[in-house]
Amino acid sequence: MGNTITLLGMGKAVYLRSDVSQWDFSQKEGITVFYVERDSLKPITFETSEKNAVLVKQEFSRDNLIEQYGRIFNS
């Protein structure tokens, strides 16, 4: 999943199957990915690219990681 997150954080278009965990994660987080079986190859719009990058950076930020570790180790 690391490569997928890196590409999304860079604003790249990512095509996935709907039966993989990355698909479920992206749908839950509001990140736009394309369905490999249905969507034709096309450039990602600037707006979608920027939105994906912001969402990924928020979810995988240092502050969020510290908060998650705090919940694990302070429970």
27-72: pLDDT as tens digits: 999 999 999 888 888 889 999 999 999 999 998 889 988 998 999 9
Sorting pLDDT into bands at 50, 70 and 90, what band is 1? confident
Residue 21 belongs to domain spanning: 2-73
Single pTM value for the model: 0.80
Given this model, what pLDDT does residue 19 score?
Answer: 94
Nearest in space to 10 (alpha carbons), one of 43, 58, 44, 52: 52
DSSP assignment letter at 44: P
How many domains does one find in the chain? 1
- CA distances from residue 60 to 4, 19, 36, 64 in whole angstroms, order as listed: 13, 23, 25, 6
The helix, strand and coil proportions of the chain, stated in percent and rounded to the nearest 5, come to 55, 5, 35
